Amino acid sequence: MADPSASNASTTTARIVWDTADKFLRNVVEEEDYGDYILPFTVLRRLECMLADTKEQVAPFVRSLGKLPPHLIDIAVKDKFGLTFHNVSPLSLATIASVDDNVEKSLKSYIAGFSNNVADVWVAFDFARRASVLAEANRLHAVVKHFSTIDLSPSGLANTAMGDVFEDVMYRAFNKKGKAAGNYYTPRDAIRLMVDVLITNDDDTLAGDSALRSIYDPTAGSGGMLLIAQEALKRMNSKIDATLYGQELMAPAFALGKADLLIQGGRPDAIKRGDTLLHDEYEDQRFDYVLSNPPFGTKWEVQERSVKEQAKVHGSRFSHGLPGVADGQMLFLAHCASKLAPASKNGQGGRAAVVSNASPLFNSDKGPNAIRQWLFDEDLIDAIIALPTEMFYGTGIATYVWILDKNKDPQREHKIQLIDGSAQWEPMRKSMGYKRRKMSERNRNVVLEAYKAFDYADPAISRILTKEDFMFRDVSVFKQARLSTRYVEDAVNALHSRKDFTKAHEQIVRSLAQTAIAWNDLPQTFLKLAKQNGLKASIGLVDAVTNAMAVDDENAPLAVDRKGNPVVAEGWKITERVPLSEALDEHMEREVLPFAPDAKWDESNAKAGNEIPFTQIFYVPEEPRPLADIDADVQQIMVELGAMFQAVKASE
């Protein structure tokens, strides 16, 4: 159980940290940018406090190593002091704040004293420029002094408590940014649901003193998914060794993610900066848990050339299909699937939770079809969960979580569970960007219990299907025309536009109409009479004459062309989508023939595809209101209108 006093201390500290905004940033920077200044200084103060006890010993030790390469210095410091990073500057925030001149120069010198493995954090935070902005406004000294007095030491704030402080400050910062926060920050309620589902079946394998787990996020953002997953595993087994791995492209998000891990005692290299689509920084590694909230509807034309080259390698992450360049979601989905660890000796295989919008469920282009088919054939899709709308900061649209599993439990093999959690939400007291709803613990438990119940879950929110239920054949369905032969003046006149149709041909057409010849016999008969009269008749002319003399006749035989193929009735051709799990003839007898008894279909030209029609599967039609109730409402309105007219008339 959480310690209330620790929680209160975290909240108080976060408030003191945020007081920087009201005291020193107002009228200097835009309100939505407060966090861009407060967060870096929070990180700096925490790192300073973490190094305070060893700094006097570390600085001379590093100097004694001479011109050793930076990465070797990092290794030497870790071996001797157990530190994953260090600072060799004689300065501190307190010493810098003790005088009011050269503050900017001293601060930048202090930052330069940090070890090489954390230098990229300050670059990504754009710390030097932000310090200059404050210096020019004559506010830098006050900010440095303010932070130098805040106790962020590990003895005062344990790692989890410091994580709470940083989380609180980040939330306040992103609340100022509104919907722009979606670029960095996945709502914690969504992450907790994803993590709960991922680890729910792993209770037994997570026990013991030597339990190991790896957690990976290829779109790490501010690192929330990694940290919440680690926290959940620690709750299940405090001795578990959970190693975090992440990759992030955007500099501000990378800085936040790496910093958040650092201030909680994480490895400096846990999150690497880079474009996951261009280069996988963990190319040869596979993971126990993969979590990702990739960008929706983002073009990948910048990465197109590289991705297509990668796709040429058989069995590679992108070799199974490529979506259109307008949306790269399914590239990330395929990437996450490729990063799952194979089944281990204890039966555990890698599992993933990936957020998407609705597009990857049913996009019918060749690439998305191929990617879904690969996931089906490899039996990788364990479940798909519909989240409530208005759950994310950057969008209010419908979103889904794909649960992938490299080694399903026996009862879940070759099955896919769909869970409709769209109604499981509570309103937020204050919206944040597009996020107006949250999933409380109670809401999340409804989804989690449905997942665990599987076959026995309430069918109102859970359905169990097979891949064949999502695979289909698009079959052409048509009605065969019934045609008779008649002389139609306008149609025959139109034939004269052809150079090969003469008056002599017209005489043959008139004679054929008078003999009431069957339309199906018309091509051969016309050709025969043309030859008898010494006239040329090309195939094109035969077809033109045949079509000109055709009229619909329900009493005529079914029409076939000169090759014996059925003639489709004009304006009557549809495409019927038939699930692969159904026999074609049985489907047509049930779904088509009762409404069109003469319908025919051609299976030979059927096109195979797949989709996951989530909304359709859970759709429950609403019962229309009884006509009597509608009539009563209309009568009531008429009475009210009559009374209003009478009142107007009386006032004249």
593-648 pLDDT per residue, tens: 998 888 889 888 899 999 999 999 999 888 888 888 888 989 999 989 988 888 88
User: Residues 88, 106: contact at Cβ < 8 Å?
Assistant: no
Mean pLDDT of the chain: 90
> Average pLDDT for residues 169-176, to the nearest whole number?
75
- The most distant pair of C-alpha atoms in the chain lies apart, rounded to whole Å, by 117
Query: What value does the mean pLDDT take over residues 447-455?
Result: 97
For residue 477, is it left (φ>0), alpha (ψ between -120 and 50) or beta? beta
Q: What is the CA radius of gyration of the chain?
A: 36
Position 1 scores a pLDDT of 44
pLDDT of residue 194 exceeding 70: yes
CA angle 369, 373, 376 (to 5 degrees): 145
Q: Which residues of 64-89 are buried (b: 16+ CB within 10 A; e: fewer)?
A: eeeeeeeeebbeebbeebebbbbbbb
**For residue 431, what pLDDT band results from cuts at 50, 70 and 90?**
confident
pLDDT at 193: 97
Give the pLDDT confidence score for residue 347 in this predicted structure: 66
Residue 14 is predicted with a pLDDT of 79
Supply the pLDDT for residue 329. Answer: 95
**Distant-in-sequence, close-in-space partners of 569: CB < 8 Å, separation ≥ 6:** 478, 479, 480, 481, 482, 552
Q: Distance between CA 353 and CA 215 in Å, rounded?
A: 11
3-state secondary structure of 87: strand
Burial of residue 622 (CB within 10 Å: 0-12, 13-18, 19+) is: exposed
> Does residue 487 or residue 284 have the better pLDDT?
284
Using CA atoms, how far apart are residues 198 and 226, in angstroms rounded to an integer? 13
- Alpha-carbon distances, residue 573 vs 214, 283, 609 (angstroms): 54, 50, 20
- Overall average pLDDT of the 201-214 stretch: 80
pLDDT at residue 2 greater than cutoff 50:
no
Residue 145 confidence (pLDDT): 94
Q: Does residue 477 sit in helix, strand or coil?
A: strand
Reading the block at residue 530, the tokens are 């043309």
Whether 101 shows a pLDDT value over 90: the answer reads no
- pLDDT of 6 above 60: no
Q: Give yes or no for a contact between 296 and 323, defined as CB atoms under 8 angstroms apart.
A: no
Tokens 């600072």 found at = 87
Neighbours of 413 (CB within 10 A): 11
Q: What is the pLDDT of residue 4?
A: 52
How much of the chain, in percent, has pLDDT values that exceed 70? 96
Model confidence at 8: pLDDT above 70: no
Q: Where are the beta strands (DSSP E) in 333-425?
A: 351-357, 381-386, 399-405, 416-420
Confidence bin at 183 (pLDDT 50/70/90): low
Instruction: Provide the pLDDT for residue 394.
Output: 80
Question: What backbone torsions phi and psi does residue 87 show, to the nearest 5 degrees?
Answer: -140, 130
d(CA 105, CA 125): 18
For the chain, the first-to-last Cα distance in angstroms comes to: 75
Q: What is the C-alpha to C-alpha distance for residues 262 and 222, in angstroms, rounded to an integer?
A: 12
> pLDDT tier at 353 (50, 70, 90 boundaries)?
very high
Residue 488: pLDDT band (50, 70, 90) is confident
Give tens-digit pLDDT for 32-57. 888 889 999 999 999 999 999 999 99
Statement: residue 182 has pLDDT above 90: no
For 49, the token pair is 């406090």
- Rounded percentage of the chain residues whose pLDDT exceeds 90: 65
Note the pLDDT of residue 517.
87
pLDDT (0 to 100) of residue 382: 98
User: Would you place residue 376 in the very low, low, confident or very high pLDDT band (cuts 50, 70, 90)?
Assistant: very high
Supply the pLDDT for residue 446: 98
CA distance to 345, 418, 541, per residue, from 405 (Å): 16, 14, 62
Average pLDDT over every residue of 8-20? 77
pLDDT of 177 > 70? The answer is no
Average pLDDT of the segment spanning 300-327: 96
Burial (0-12, 13-18, 19+ Cβ within 10 Å), 546: buried
368, pLDDT greater than 50: yes
pLDDT, mean of residues 401-407:
96
Average pLDDT over residues 183-202: 86
- What is residue 23's predicted lDDT score, i.e. its pLDDT? 85
- The CATH code belonging to domain 184-465 is 3.40.50.150
Find the mean pLDDT for residues 555-566. 91
Distance CA 64, CA 154 (A): 28
- The pLDDT-based confidence of 9 (bands split at 50, 70, 90) is low
Q: Is the dihedral of CA 332, 338, 339, 340 positive or negative?
A: positive
CA nearest to 249, candidates 309, 317, 328 = 328
